[in-house]
Each structure stands twice: as structure tokens, then as C-alpha cells.
Amino acid sequence: MKILFMGTPEFAVPCLDMLVTKGYSVVGVVTQPDKPKGRGHKVSPPPVKEYAIKKGIPVFQPERLRDGSFDNDLRLLSPDCIVVVAYGKILPKSILDYPKYGCINVHASLLPKYRGAGPIQWAIINGEKETGITTMYMDEGMDTGDMILKKKVMIGENETAGELHDRLSVLGAEVLADTLRRIQEGTAPREPQNHSEATYAPMLTKEVGCIDWNKSAVEIKNLVRGVNPWPVAYTNYEGKRFKVWSVDIGEKCDLGVPGMIIKYIDSQGLMVRTGDMGSIIIKEIQYEGGKKMSMEEYLRGHTIEIGKLLGS
């Protein structure tokens, strides 16, 4: 089976590695154009491109797909199947209809829940207990195609989006391997999605990380976990913003108002009142221009006044 792989970020690399390791004929890799990264805005290739170059796989980085500029390359590559993993662009019908075995997508949720660009993060933010991987036959919608296989995993109580991302990227490769085997054997199931049960997981913005101290302690903890490592939760103290990297749920608290700093607990962190008469213990922070550190480390050289309010 000749496969054209389309993917961009680190999440997609294990799937591509599985195809190479298992001896599939990967005729090419399509990925997003190189982009500036980091503080120096140095133009850097996507992780999928870096892997493909190491393995000697031809790389294509079209700016657009809908203008037909990639159609000639597609005909020359002549794939039997196109595998898409976090590519980042909607495929036009001309590409979707080309391969004999269709376009197969690996999506990091249990569809039809969490269609869209941020399924891992939103599952944690929304307090889901489980998630997983779904493979599907792609159509012209956003993650709306018929499902092939699903594999569930439980979400850890303290698991961050970054940690879950790494687990699901490995699981995605395993489910993809099983999917392609079944397609070749002619035993792959095909289950239409129940669109009435669909939920959406839009791309995250930095603003999503703003902590609303009127929410419950559980909701705030889920937010902090769900936006770690990007865009990272944040709040303000006396007009200055700081990132909140990790928290615990504290004891019940009827003192003050939501967002009020109640006390410092040795070796644990800063206790802040939440909107459900509960509290959050802030464990790790990072002020603008500074490094990430424990609350204990920060308070060795700085003062945070008890009774002050956090938030805008």
C-alpha cells in the first residue's frame, strides 16, 4: 500500500514513525510551511518535516490545497491511501476522492465529541474522565466522517494537556496500525457519526488561560491542567500578570471573596479562595520575564500580601 502522509506537529510523528517502521511505502509527506518560532522568531521546520528529512522521504509544503497547485504532485505520487494526522488544513474534495482506500484521519477524541483543533485541551478543561483516539474516513466537514476504530483511555486526576498529548500520540500510532491492517484485509468497520451528539473543541487562544476565581476549585484546577504547557493559565497580582503552572485543590473556605489570598501553607503554596466556598493552592508560578518556580522559591525573595485579590 502506497501512503501519502499529511501532518505537522509533534503529535503526528509517532504515526509517521509507525508507517516507516512497519515497512509501508510512504511516498511523500505533506506538511505546513516553515514558520518563525520562539523569542528570536527563527524560521523552523515542523517536527513532521524534520522526521521525514531524516528518513529520506520527499517533503511537500504547499501554501494552499484548494487552488489545485498540489494536484500534479498528487498524481505523480499516486498514493493508495492518504493518512492525515493533525495536518492543520481542510482537504478539498479533489484530494479526498483521489486515493483508492480514501483519506484516513487520526483524531484525539472519542468522536463525535470534541471535533476541532483542541480536543485534548478541552477534554481536560471540561473535566472529562476519559478520552481517546478515533480513526475515520475523511469527508468535507471538520471531523465529521464515518468512524473506523476507537480506543479509550482514562484521564488522570492531575494529568496535564501536555502529558495526555504524549500518551495519545503513541496510542494514535497503535490505532492507525490496526486501522490500516483492517482496511487492507477488507474488514474495517464504517460507522456514521451521530451528529446530534457532536461537541466542538476550538483552537486555544492565550485568553482561554485567564483564571476566573468565581468558578469552582475543580473548574480552576481543570483549566490549569488543560492549558499546560500552552497557553498556560494566568492571573494578576497588583496589576502584574503571572502564569500559574500547577495547583492543588485546598480546603473549604468561607473567608473573604473569590480571588482573595487567604494564607501561605509551608511547602505547599498559596491558598486562594474560589467561587464555590473552596480554595486553590497555587504551587508553581512564573512572572513575566522570569522563570518558572515553586511558590516556596518565589516567596523567598518576594512578598505577596495576604488579603489581596488576584484577578483583573
Reported as a single tens digit per residue, the pLDDT across 165-180 is: 999 999 999 999 999 9
State the Cα angle at 275 between 272 and 278, rounded to 5°.
Answer: 55
Reported as a single tens digit per residue, the pLDDT across 252-295 is: 999 999 999 999 998 899 999 999 999 999 999 999 889 999 99
Reported as a single tens digit per residue, the pLDDT across 53-100 is: 999 999 999 999 988 889 999 999 999 999 999 999 999 999 999 999
Which amino acid is it at 157?
A: E
Domains by residue range for the chain, with CATH = 2-197 (3.40.50.170), 206-301 (3.10.25.10)
Q: To which residue does cell 483552537 refer?
A: 203
Rounded to an integer, what distance in angstroms lies between the CA atom of residue 42 and that of residue 279? 42
Q: Decide if 98 contacts 76 (C-beta within 8 A).
A: no
State the Cα angle at 281 between 165 and 211, rounded to 5°.
Answer: 65
Q: Is the per-residue pLDDT at 42 higher than 90?
A: no
Q: Is the per-residue pLDDT at 201 higher than 80?
A: yes
Q: Exposed, middle or buried, 144 (CB in 10 Å: 0-12/13-18/19+)?
A: middle
What integer pLDDT is reported at residue 312 of this predicted model? 73
What integer pLDDT is reported at residue 98 of this predicted model? 96
- Hey, is 242 helix, strand or coil? strand
Q: Is the per-residue pLDDT at 153 higher than 80?
A: yes
Find all residues with CB under 8 Å of 218, minimum gap 6, and list them: 127, 249, 276, 278
Q: What is the pTM of this model?
A: 0.96
What integer pLDDT is reported at residue 41 of this predicted model? 77
What integer pLDDT is reported at residue 68 of this predicted model? 87
Rounded to an integer, what distance in angstroms lies between the CA atom of residue 305 and that of residue 294? 17
Reported as a single tens digit per residue, the pLDDT across 120-144 is: 999 999 999 999 999 999 999 999 9
